[in-house]
Amino acid sequence: MKRYDYHHLNHSKEQQTSKKTLWITLMLTLFFTIVEIVGGLLSHSLALLSDSAHMISDVVALGLSMVAIYMATRHPNKKYTFGQLRFEIIASFLNGLALAVIAVGIFIEGINRMIHPQDVNLQLMLIIASIGLIVNIILTYVLSRSMKEEENLNIKSALWHFIGDLLSSVGIIVSAVLIYFTGYFIFDPIISMVIGGIIFLGGSRIIRESYLILMESVPEKFDLDSIRQDINKVEGVEDVHEMHLWAISTEHYSLTAHVFIREGIQSFTVIKAIDQLLKDKYSIEHSTIQVEHPAIHDHGEYGEQFLLQNSLTN
């Protein structure tokens, strides 16, 4: 009976630290979101309501992140040969998109409030914002500690969310103080629009990072030309082409390349040497190297030029 091994590498993640961190963060965020919505409605503060909208997106984002972490534990099968790791990136992309949409909504409502100002309950606004500041300091600290232990784009996106929330809480407190001393309620929508800008900036960064992974671009930490030069230095390698490097998920990289090797050298030793180089120097554990010869495998003009150059040097 044939044994089907869908992959020799474990394309799954057991992220116990991230899982625990997200559960704690989700519970605290959900609690404070309810408090902030009620407080925003009672105080008529757009700054509070805009921040609560951000907090709602945080709850949804954290929920998606939790789903992504559980899906990442699933092992590869005949349909999903890379497992479910990519859902982490899809979740991050959706989180960033949600942030951008909410930011636009805050800008629109802020402009409307500037045209039609509303009174604000400063005392209630200040109390809730102060509680929010304490909660966001705690959550930012918890997430930043988790980031040091496990690399995860969802944790990173959540951290950016709560850095934005922390700044939002500071902004709301500043807004309440300015309204108290000046009597100008216009500071409420102005501060809310600043909060919207922070939210949009965070969302756009998450969208960009997840988009690059979804488009299978070369991860920014790698220089493809340097890797190509290193492979060319391996004993027996004469040319490297058709090279691709991409991320399946955070810290899960794959590389494929075709190489021309010197005649008379054992191809398995060349492949082993390249694999070891990629693992030791670049931490790329999933690599597929295809050994070729231009006289056997058709490479068109590229192969002909290579053969001509070789004949001239030899």
| Residue length of the chain | 314
CB 69 within 8 A of CB 154: yes
Residue type, position 213, single letter: I
pLDDT at 8: 46
CB-count burial class (<10 Å; 0-12, 13-18, 19+) for 45: buried
Phi-psi region of 264 (alpha: psi -120 to 50; beta: other; left: phi over 0): left
CB-count burial class (<10 Å; 0-12, 13-18, 19+) for 86: buried
pLDDT at 3: 46
CB 83 within 8 A of CB 74: yes
DSSP string for residues in 293-307: -TTTS--HHHHHHHH
pLDDT at 167: 75
DSSP string for residues in 147-203: HHHS--HHHHHHHHHHHHHHHHHHHHHHHHHHHHHH--TTHHHHHHHHHHHHHHHHH
Three-class SS state of 15: coil
Of 131, 205, 118, nearest to 161 by C-alpha is 205
Distance CA 124, CA 120 (A): 9
C-alpha 217, offset from chain centre: 14
Distance CA 306, CA 65 (A): 49
pTM: 0.71
- Give the other-Cβ count within 10 Å of 175's Cβ: 29
| Ordered domains of the chain (ranges, CATH) | 16-214 (1.20.1510.10), 224-313 (3.30.70.1350)
Give phi and psi for 83, each to the nearest 5.
70, -155
Distance CA 253, CA 248 (A): 6
Of 205, 215, 103, nearest to 153 by C-alpha is 205
Name, in order, each residue with C-beta under 8 angstroms of 99's C-beta and a sequence gap of 6 or more. Answer: 54, 57, 61, 161, 199, 200, 202, 203, 206
Average confidence (pLDDT) per 10 residues, the chain, 314 residues: 47 59 78 80 73 72 76 76 79 82 82 77 79 81 69 68 75 83 82 82 86 91 94 91 88 89 86 94 91 74 70 60
